[in-house]
A = this chain, B = another copy of it.
Amino acid sequence: MLSSEISKAGFFPGARFFVKSRVYYSVILALFMFSFSSILPVSLRADQPGALNLNLMPYPARVNLTGGEFRLTEKFYVGGHVKPDHRVFKAACRFMSRLAARTGLFFEQDYLAGQPVNDQTVFLYHFERPGQLVPGEDESYLLEINPEKIELKAKTDLGLLHGLETLLQVLSADSAGYYFPCLQIEDSPRFTWRGLLIDSSRHFMPVEVIKRNLLAMSAVKLNVLHWHLSDDQGFRVESKSFPRLHQLGSDGLYYRQAEIIDIIQLASDLGIRVVPEFDLPGHSTSWLVAYPEYGSLPGPYQLERKFGVSSPVFNPAEEKTYKFFDRFLKEMTFLFPDPYFHLGGDEVEPKHWKENPEIQKFMKKNKISDEAGLQAYFNRRLLQLLTKYHKKMIGWDEIYQPGLPKNIVIQSWRGQQALVDGAKKGYQGILSNGYYIDLVESAERHYLNDPLPSDSLLTPEEKKLILGGEATMWAELVTPETVDSRLWPRSAAIAERFWSPKEIRDVDDMYKRLRIISLSLEENGINHLKNQPMMLRRLAQSYEIGGLEVLARVAEPVKGYARHSQGKTYNSLAPLTRFVDACFPESLEARDFRQKVEKFIGNRDLRQAEEIKGCFRLWQENHQKIVRLANFSPILKETVPLSASLLTLSQIGVEAVDLLMKGKPAEPSWLEEKFKQLEEARKSVAECQLAIWPGVKALLDCLKK
């Protein structure tokens, strides 16, 4: 919890209370009394986050404010009666270290030397057993903060980790110092599979990218790293059985096995499973560069630099292919301890299968009627190998076929219906459709997408088969420099969807908390905030980036796959350092602006009008700065027309506000002209769009009435 924000939001009397139908007890009265006395036995509880103004994300299942606070001092000692396992010990160290970093307190406890319980132990934890990193494991916890003592209890150490993150989120401050508000939290996840896919193939993501994102994942209680390790553009794992895979298939950019072991260890320390994905039989050019003999055509193959679906594909008709995979999977199933192993299976292009007469002959001989059937055959063979190595299979929609064992998991990128169909047939599934964060959509859109919508027609038994979901960070258009800004903070909203009760859906409140969580993610090394000015400095080749910042705050990259059709042909070497790359996927400033406009439209308040006009003036005056910068930085030339559109929108906006304030109707010819300009300013420029556009349109629309 961020103290200044808390204070601004008004934790105690004077706060704006978002009283939903299910807020219990007499909230206002209780709060009023709190401020005078903390010995009153009343308590305050809410099932909606807005009610308590606690900046928790994901929001816990049950929160109960009990009044008073636990004051933090340098004598703060943490300890547990149980012998701490590696996970708890390291987590407690990280916890203390983050607490020290935020507060500047020089804690007396030598926390690196372990946490024995003694007289000074004021924060006590208990757990029954080490958690297993498998779906369905108990991750619940109970957190109780009293004025003298904090207690955290969990069945497993996994629950304990979640409780520690929650505790850090409620750290508060006032002029007297730091404190934790007294409360009881009872919490457990809605879904057991709360994943994030990171694609290390299209652009290689060095070890530190993965590590800092594991830390961030654990901060928002995500528990599966789905690691996309091979694709046409690169094979990223050191293989001892087939070293040419990483030697020829990676441009030298791959993970050593020692690094993978470290990453899996860190993930385990954080209670996160690591599910590797080797995408097969398509998306496999990088393998065939090294081993063309397993391809469907003779080759030679070259590493793919372009993006999209390409033709190279493994040859499912040859026995040697399966011998290769047997040895390969033997090595990789040992390296990755998770019970699940992801074989991809999406977007298989049948072209080479059709062009190879031997493969066609094989199909005929084995009564395989089409290429989908051939892929099914391939999958069955690989499934046998996985079973031999004690792994369960997971794959994308396309892997589904009748007769598969019921312990597989289907991951849906195509849509919710696939999951429903699967569940009806008894298959487990996780949802990724709607969580494609590479498409740079709004957090709201992902947040309201539910793996198990309330109108679901599944039976309670079938519902249990929906294990959760995964956000997907495909890496065609991100680099280690920009990937954090695409991942965060939006993934935190998705994490709340996966963890919190399904009734938690208040979008405004989510955004309020998201801003705070976004700030705290910097603690985990996430560089989404700090890399933007750095990128703008490089663009401007100057320290003076005020003008660029103003523009970047209201611009967003074009959505979906649109960047691929705006004139530039991206490949894996293309620079991702332009203005569009420095823009955040979602402009929170534009969201604020839209809300201001809506408020103004509702009340026509003079102060509100001035505030909106203030924004417009800033944007108008900004244009000359952009023009000046672009004069000396050719890379910024493309932003000039974008800035010009912002100027146009601002001019329209000022006039519209003035007319609305005067209460005069607009001339039809004027309106027509302005709507024309508005449409013109809607066009994407430099692969960006202006996120304040809808706000300006709303003003004009108002004049039409």
Residues of A within 8 A of B (CB): 2-7, 97, 100-107, 110-112, 173-178, 206-208, 251, 256, 258-259, 262, 305, 515, 519, 522-523, 527, 529-531, 533-534, 537-538, 540-544, 568-569, 573-575, 577-578, 629, 631-635
CA distance A634 to B578 in the complex (A): 39
**Residues of chain B within 8 A of A207, CB atoms compared:** 207-208
A577 and B104 form a contact (CB under 8 A): yes
Q: How far is the CB of A447 from chain B (nearest CB, A)?
A: 21
- Copy tally for this chain in the complex stands at 2
Q: Sorted from nearest, which 3 A-B pairs have the closest CB atoms?
A: A104-B635, A2-B541, A530-B530
Among A3, A544, A634, chain B packs the most CB atoms within 10 A around the CB of A634
**Most interface-central of A522, A541, A569 (chain B CB within 10 A):** A541
Q: How far is the CA of A289 from the CA of B3 in the complex (A)?
A: 41
What residues of B have a CB within 8 angstroms of the CB of A519 in the complex?
A: 537-538, 541-543
13 contacting pairs across A/B (C-beta < 8 A): A4-B629, A5-B542, A102-B635, A104-B578, A106-B568, A110-B573, A175-B631, A175-B634, A207-B208, A519-B541, A519-B542, A530-B534, A533-B533
Interface centre among A104, A259, A575, A635 (most CB of B within 10 A): A104
In whole Å, how far is A518's beta carbon from the nearest beta carbon of chain B?
9
Name the B residues within 8 Å of A4 (CB-CB). Answer: 540-542, 544, 629, 632-633
CA distance A538 to B663 in the complex (A): 46
Q: Give complex CA distance A207, B573 in Å.
A: 25
- Whole-angstrom distance between the alpha carbons of A631 and B634 in the complex? 45
Contact of A542 (CB < 8 Å), options: B2, B305, B541: B2
**Chain B residues whose CB sits within 8 angstroms of the CB of A534 once the complex forms:** 522, 529-530
The residue in chain B whose Cβ has the minimal distance to the Cβ of A479 is: B101
**Chain B CB within 10 Å, residue with most, of A4, A97, A107, A174:** A4
Asked if A110 meets B3 with Cβ closer than 8 Å, knowing A100-B575, A575-B100, the reply is: no
Chain B residues lying within 8 Å of A305, measured Cβ to Cβ, are 110
CB < 8 Å: which of B5, B103, B537 contacts A635?
Answer: B103
Query: How far is B256's CA from A678's CA once the two chains are assembled, in angstroms?
Result: 59
Instruction: Give the residues in chain B near A103, CB-CB below 8 Å.
Output: 575, 634-635
- Rounded to whole angstroms, the CA-CA distance of A105 and B574 in the bound complex is 8
- Taking A530-B531, A538-B101, A631-B175 as contacts, is the C-beta distance between A106 and B3 under 8 angstroms? no
Task: Tell me the complex Cα distance, A262–B253, Å.
Answer: 12
Contacts of A102 in B (CB 8 A): 538, 541, 577, 635
Q: A111-B573, A531-B530, A575-B106 are in contact. Are A173 and B633 (CB under 8 A)?
A: yes
Least CB distance from A162 to B in Å reads 22
Nearest B residue to A480 by beta-carbon distance? B525
Q: Hey, which chain B residues are within 8 Å of A251, CB to CB? A: 112
Shortest Cβ distance from A467 into chain B, in angstroms? 33
* A111: chain B residues within 8 A (beta carbon): 573
> Do B101 and A575 touch (CB < 8 A)?
yes
> Which residues on the B side are within 8 Å of A635 (C-beta)?
102-104
Closest-by-CB residue of B relative to A540 is: B4
CB distance from A105 to the nearest CB of B (A): 7
B632 engages A174 (CB within 8 Å): yes
Shortest Cβ distance from residue A324 to the other chain B in the assembled complex, whole angstroms: 26
Max count, chain B CB within 10 A of own CB: residue among A3, A5, A529, A629: A3
Closest Cβ of chain B to A210, distance in Å, is: 12
Sample of 7 further A-B pairs with CB below 8 A, known A100-B573, A102-B635, A207-B207 = A101-B538, A104-B635, A106-B575, A258-B259, A529-B534, A530-B531, A530-B534
Which partner residue on chain B sits nearest A96 by CB separation? Answer: B573
**Cα-based distance from A5 to B540 in the complex (angstroms):** 10
A3 touches B541 (CB 8 A): yes
Contacting residues, chain B, for A569 (C-beta < 8 A): 106
Say yes or no: A633-B3 contact (C-beta < 8 A), given A208-B208, A519-B541, A538-B523. yes
Cβ contact within 8 Å between A573 and B107: yes
- In whole angstroms, how far apart are the Cα atoms of A3 and B175 in the complex? 47
* Residues of B contacting A633 in the complex (Cβ-Cβ under 8 angstroms): 3-4, 173
Chain B residues with Cβ under 8 A from A631's Cβ?
A: 7, 175
Q: Which B residues lie within 8 Å of A529 (CB)?
A: 534, 537
A302 to B: closest C-beta gap in Å: 8
What residues of B have a CB within 8 angstroms of the CB of A173 in the complex? Answer: 541, 632-634
Asked if B106 and A177 sit within 8 Å, CB to CB, the answer is: no
> Chain B residues with Cβ under 8 A from A634's Cβ?
103-104, 173, 175-178
Q: Whose C-beta in chain B lies nearest to the C-beta of A579? A: B104
